Amino acid sequence: MQGRIQGALGAALGLFLMLAAVPVQAAPDPLEPLNRRVHALNRVMQSWVLTPAAEAYVAVTPPGVRRGIGNALANLGEPVSALSGLAAGQLGIAANAMLRFGINTTLGLGGAQDAATGLGFPRRPFAMTDALCSWGVPSGPFLVLPVLGPSTLRDAGATIATHAALAQALGTELVAGWRAGDLFAGYVEVHADLGAIEAAALDSYALHRSAYLQRRAASCPADRAALAEQEQEDEPEAVAAAGATR
């Protein structure tokens, strides 16, 4: 799952770089007052806990070791990608994930090395959130989760259900440890750039919201259609507002 997280954070950083230079786009956000409080709490935790821990980890851990740990954590997420692919009817994704898990667990020394990519099986992270997208389940309102950050009601529900099922099958401590390590490994890779972008943003909450919703729209047809429909609805208001300022 680390591959999914790093891919998501990387995509988000790309969007942040574009959005930071322009006014962020408004979006329906009925939970905004609550979301902003959680976002503020997350930023405090990021500043006082996550960033110092990430900096200390980078200072004492060689890049090759960090890469190996990240690969091993990502390898543990391949069965989740396989099950999610099956749930979505994406048999190619499911087969790729299981092949990757088998190859990297054996030839890749427990997943520390990504041997599967070299054999023609690149990482294709796929979560239950993506399965729900393929079913056309609406995203619901934007939601900020403690520690985990931006999400939607649909994505948050799928994430919580996935990890509850894993905890039931494998044990809460094991799943919580893997999940925490996976999230931290992903954060380590982007924390410096993310901190600089957030510091330059006029409204970091709106920036995160816009980046997340646009990233999900790029990968989820249901969200893409909903975003396009919302933009069409907002266009007359935007034109009217522009005319009123002239």
Domain range summary for the chain, segments of one domain joined by +: 2-19+30-70+127-222
Average pLDDT, the chain: 87
pLDDT tens-place string over residues 68-86: 999 999 999 999 999 999 9
Residue 210: closest CA among 52, 32, 2: 32
Count of C-beta atoms within a 10 Å radius of residue 43: 17
* pLDDT tens-digit readout, 165-207: 999 999 999 999 999 999 999 999 999 888 888 888 889 999 9
Q: Please provide residue 62's backbone torsions phi and psi, each rounded to the nearest 5 degrees.
A: -65, 150
Whether 1 shows a pLDDT value over 70: the answer reads no
Query: Tens of pLDDT along 18-56?
Result: 444 444 444 579 999 999 999 999 999 999 999 999 999
d(Cα 154, Cα 95) in Å, to the nearest integer?
Answer: 25
Give the Cβ contact number of residue 118 at 10 Å.
12
Classify residue 47 by its DSSP letter.
I
pLDDT band for 14, please (50, 70, 90 cuts): low
